[in-house]
């Protein structure tokens, strides 16, 4: 007689490989950030904020491990955004303001980049992994049998993978705006009081962006075409606010370090919307 453990469906071997790879990437993120901090010529407030934000990505990889173990569909877009933003977040700290980057930091960044690229390749190219990542989040269900907490497909129309990617990418707008705003807040401590209104506006814009994205994506997941155009408008508005403030308050160095990750997230959002629209048109034609 078989036991429950014997009848349990075994995960594909690629899932176990991906989990090990994600744990390695999380550890590598911490090591590379510590190396960057150790070799940095100036360990100021701005570097501390950016380093702390980059270190948070190690927890993101641990969260992604949980999604992969449970076979959640959200693991693919979440992994893509996490990998891309990690490369930008760590890369902007490797290059110092002056001089050449230290060799240990460059080697660590190269290894971390290779790990992130491998993660994305497995998530989007492995057929076995695609067959595993098909489950939805559990939710509270009330029916004739009573109240239960179980996995159920969403009531809204099935969203494409590219639409989910755009959604996850857009949700990074707010933190990618708040981090440089916090860095700019350090200039207030240095006596630059004229920057107070701009920094406060930056914080307000970053928080507003999160609610705007939440509103857009809520209707986007329900198949509302007008939500696509609204999300494009929000994306353009976010760039129009963040990039000039980065240049004015943080200089060209801040524009590159803090503006480039936001531009990458915006481009990924727009590309995902375009691909999702193309998939929808093909489905309607069929």
The band of 270, judged by pLDDT with boundaries at 50, 70 and 90, is very high
pLDDT tens digit sequence for 153-172: 655 555 677 888 888 889 99
Nearest-angstrom CA–CA distance, 61 and 29: 10
Name, in order, each residue with C-beta under 8 angstroms of 157's C-beta and a sequence gap of 6 or more: 222, 223
**pLDDT tens digits, 38-75:** 776 666 677 777 777 777 888 889 999 998 988 888 88
- Sorted by sequence, the CB contacts under 8 Å of residue 19 that are 6+ apart come out as 65, 68, 69
Distances (CA, A) of 108 to 28, 32, 89, 140, 253: 8, 5, 13, 44, 22
Contacts of 260 (CB under 8 A, 6+ apart): 88, 92
Predicted confidence at residue 1, as pLDDT, reads: 41
151 has which bridge partners? 138
State the pLDDT at residue 2.
44
- Tell me the mean pLDDT in the region 78-104: 77
Mean pLDDT of 102-121: 88
Q: Is the pLDDT of residue 145 over 60?
A: yes
User: How many helical (H) and strand (E) elements, i.e. helices and strands, does the chain have?
Assistant: 11, 2
pLDDT of res. 146? 62
Residue 194 has pLDDT above 80, yes or no: no
Q: Compute the distance between CA of residue 239 and CA of residue 262 in angstroms, rounded to an integer.
A: 8
Binned at pLDDT 50, 70 and 90, residue 6 comes out as very low
Task: Give the residue from 130, 22, 117 showing the smallest Cα distance to 66.
Answer: 22
> Residue 196: is its pLDDT beyond 50?
yes
User: Would you kindly state where each structural domain of the chain is located, as residue ranges?
Assistant: 12-132, 159-280
Q: What is the pLDDT of residues 213-229, one digit of tens each?
A: 999 998 888 888 899 99
Element (H, E) at 201: helix 196-220
Sign of the four-CA dihedral 254, 117, 18, 267: positive
Mean pLDDT of the chain: 81
Exposure of 219 by Cβ count < 10 A (0-12 exposed, 13-18 middle, 19+ buried)? Answer: middle
Dihedral pair phi/psi, residue 146, rounded to 5°: 115, -155
Q: Is pLDDT at 114 greater than 80 in this prediction?
A: yes
User: Which pTM was predicted?
Assistant: 0.75
């Amino acid at each position: 007689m078989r036991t429950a453990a014997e009848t349990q469906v075994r995960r594909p071997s690629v899932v176990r490989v991906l989990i090990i790879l994600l744990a390695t990437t999380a550890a590598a993120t911490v090591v590379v950030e510590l190396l960057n901090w150790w070799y940095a010529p100036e360990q100021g407030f701005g570097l501390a904020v950016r380093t702390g934000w980059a270190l948070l990505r190690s927890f993101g990889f641990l969260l992604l491990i949980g999604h992969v173990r449970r076979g959640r569909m959200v693991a693919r877009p979440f992994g893509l955004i996490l990998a891309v933003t990690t490369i930008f977040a760590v890369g902007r700290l490797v290059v110092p303001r002056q001089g050449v980057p230290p060799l240990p930091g460059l080697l660590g960044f190269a290894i971390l980049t290779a790990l992130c690229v491998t993660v994305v390749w497995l998530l989007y190219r492995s057929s076995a992994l695609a067959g595993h990542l098909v489950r939805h989040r559990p939710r509270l269900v009330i029916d004739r049998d009573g109240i239960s907490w179980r996995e159920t497909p969403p009531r809204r129309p099935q969203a494409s993978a590219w639409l989910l990617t755009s959604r996850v990418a857009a949700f990074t707008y707010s933190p990618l705006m708040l981090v440089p705003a916090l860095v700019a807040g350090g200039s207030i401590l240095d006596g630059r009081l004229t920057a107070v209104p701009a920094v406060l506006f930056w914080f307000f814009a970053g928080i507003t962006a999160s609610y705007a994205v939440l509103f857009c994506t809520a209707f986007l997941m329900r198949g509302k075409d007008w939500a696509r155009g609204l999300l494009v408008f929000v994306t353009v508005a976010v760039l129009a606010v963040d990039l000039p403030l980065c240049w004015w308050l943080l200089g060209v160095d801040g524009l590159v370090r803090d503006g480039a990750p936001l531009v990458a997230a915006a481009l990924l959002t727009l590309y995902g919307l375009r691909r999702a629209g193309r998939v929808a048109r093909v489905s309607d034609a069929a």
